[in-house]
Amino acid sequence: MMPCKRSLCIFLLLLFTACQPTGAEPASAVRGAVSQTESSTENAAIVQAFQAKKRDVQVSGRGIVSKLLKDDNKGARHQKFLVTINQQQTLLVAHNIDLAARVPLAVGDEISFYGEYVYNPKGGIIHWTHHAPLRDHPAGWILHQGIQYQ
């Protein structure tokens, strides 16, 4: 092989190799995408609680914000939104904004959370996503873009 052609082949090989995916996708490709395997593992306790129609179960999970709802301003104020945790289940999150900071969310944002699950036929509700001022309940939280709200 002539030196010029060999250099060109090596260059093309290096270029082709550099363009191959490495397993780490850019944030823009990952935003709003939770793989089926990850969501089923991380949300297994929620799915089981829903199937068993349980309530008052401490759970952690992860999902994608699918809808922002109006705040509930009756009594303690709550930020409300829907989170899709898998293809079959969506949760209503009721985050107490009298005890914790409002989470700056947009539809499509990925969040992780820890709180109390309550069954309802639509998928369930997550609440107690805040600290417990009287320390009479496990403290919950919402993790959004690396910031924990509780």
- Dihedral angle of Cα 49, 50, 52, 54, to the nearest 10 degrees: 60
Q: Model's pTM, two decimal places?
A: 0.74
Q: Where are the alpha helices (DSSP H) in the chain?
A: 3-18, 27-30, 36-42, 44-51
pLDDT score at 39: 56
Structure tokens of 88?
């079959």
List per-residue pLDDT tens for the chain, 150 residues long.
Answer: 444 444 444 444 443 433 333 333 333 333 444 444 355 688 999 999 999 999 999 999 999 999 999 999 999 999 999 999 999 999 999 999 999 999 999 999 999 999 999 999 999 999 999 999 999 999 999 999 999 999
Name all domains of the chain by residue range, CATH numbers in brackets.
36-149 (2.40.50.200)
